[in-house]
Amino acid sequence: MFHAHGDWFFTRLPDGAVRIQRGTPPETGSSGAPMTVDIDPHTWASAVASVTAVGETAETHRAALALHQQPAEVDPVARAKAAYSCYGDVAGWKNFRGDPMPRWEDLGEKIQNCWIAASAAAASHRPAEPDDGGAELT
């Protein structure tokens, strides 16, 4: 747990999410109703804090800025599942042939790897280029 000025508490939850809470520390079991926000474990978020006795200095600002500019770690499978789910929602859970889409778990490894690669390409904004004009995937 991390505590910041003004009774702000930051806690990593077992599933990887981050809980931000203002008020009484979570472990006290207080009956008060603190303000609480949970950030999903796959959502990128950053926090910049000054931790010196004199407050923010040029040195602490540069250190915080360097930390802030690091790329977020992303679970490529979770991103691919999210893309697949979005496609399903938009397409009425029908594939390009009009057949019902299978659950992610029922897709073959090759198709899952295609979704992983495609979602990574979309996230990095690099254009994908077809290699063989659309070979049949199984």
Same domain, 63 and 86: no
Q: Which domain holds residue 108?
A: 76-124
Handedness of CA 29, 32, 33, 38 (dihedral sign): negative
* Three-class DSSP category at 44: coil
- 137 in any annotated domain: no
Phi, psi torsion values for 80, nearest 5 degrees: -65, -40
Q: At 51, list the tokens.
A: 């931790």
First to last CA, the chain: 46
Give pTM, 2 decimals. Answer: 0.44
Same domain, 13 and 43: yes
Q: Please report, in tens digits, the pLDDT of each residue of the chain (138 residues total).
A: 555 556 777 777 887 778 888 876 555 555 555 678 888 777 666 554 444 455 556 676 677 667 666 666 678 898 999 999 999 999 999 999 999 999 999 999 999 999 999 988 887 765 556 555 555 554
pLDDT value, residue 71 = 63
- 134 in any annotated domain: no
- 34 in any annotated domain: yes
Same domain, 109 and 51: no
- 115 in any annotated domain: yes
**Residue length, the chain?**
138
Of 51, 68, 85, the one marking the end of a domain is 68
pLDDT value, residue 44 = 63
* Among 106, 19, 116, residue whose Cα is nearest residue 75: 116
- Please state, in angstroms and rounded to a whole number, the distance separating the CA atoms of residues 3 and 82: 33
Q: At 135, list the tokens.
A: 């070979």
Q: What are the distances in angstroms from CA 45 to CA 25, 48, 54, 56, 130?
A: 22, 10, 26, 21, 34
Total count of domains within the chain:
2
